[in-house]
């Protein structure tokens, strides 16, 4: 094998490895890895009680008929395989029921962090991101 072939071949391997690392990073993190902080979930609890509990109830169990349960196993089963951005988009478009989209983005994200905590996902060292691109990198997974 000539020097040019080795150089080109070596460059290809380096490029391929770089692509694999980039692709791996693009996959983001899962809710099982701690995608919100305890402080963010604590803020989310207060915001949930102020903005969501009236309909969904303080235990997130809904009314069993018109208003769905939104926490715990119901949350994990419904959102599994989707992203935090999917959740954000939904709540931003439809909640609160009487004023959809009326809340600031930070409120929605903090409430989502609290719902994740309530649903059994662990806290981590970084807050759930506020930007949609960052939220799209957070995949909702099941728990053991």
Question: Given a cut of 70, is residue 7 above it in pLDDT?
Answer: no
CA angle 86, 109, 51 (to 5 degrees): 105
> In the structure, what pLDDT confidence band is assigned to residue 144 with cuts at 50, 70 and 90?
confident
Residue 36, in any domain of the structure: yes
In a domain, 5, yes or no: no
Q: Is the pLDDT higher at 33 or at 26? A: 33
Residue 52 lies in a domain: yes
Evaluate whether residue 39 is within a structural domain: yes
Confidence of residue 104 (pLDDT cuts 50, 70, 90): very high
* Position 15 confidence tier, pLDDT thresholds 50, 70, 90: very low
Q: Tell me the HSE value of 78 on the side-chain side, using a 13 A CA sphere.
A: 15
Residue 85: its H or E element? helix 84-94
Which letter does DSSP use for residue 30 in this model? E
Residues spanned by the domain of 40 = 30-139
If one counts the domains in the chain, the total is: 1
Evaluate if residue 123 carries a pLDDT over 90.
Answer: yes
pTM, two decimals, is 0.81
Q: How many CA atoms lie within 13 A of 101 on its CB side?
A: 2
């Amino acid at each position: 094998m000539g020097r040019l072939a080795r150089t080109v071949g070596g460059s290809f391997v380096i490029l391929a490895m770089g692509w694999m690392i980039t692709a791996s990073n693009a996959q983001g993190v899962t809710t099982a890895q701690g995608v919100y902080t305890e402080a963010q979930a604590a803020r989310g609890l207060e915001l949930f009680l102020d903005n969501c509990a009236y309909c969904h109830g303080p235990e997130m169990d809904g009314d069993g008929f018109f208003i769905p349960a939104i926490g715990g196993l119901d949350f994990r089963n419904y959102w599994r395989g989707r992203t935090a951005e999917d959740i954000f988009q939904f709540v931003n478009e439809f909640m609160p029921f009487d004023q959809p989209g009326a809340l600031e983005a930070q409120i929605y994200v903090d409430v989502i962090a609290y719902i994740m905590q309530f649903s059994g996902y662990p806290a981590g060292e970084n807050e759930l991101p506020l930007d949609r691109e960052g939220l799209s990198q957070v995949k909702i997974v099941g728990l053991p």
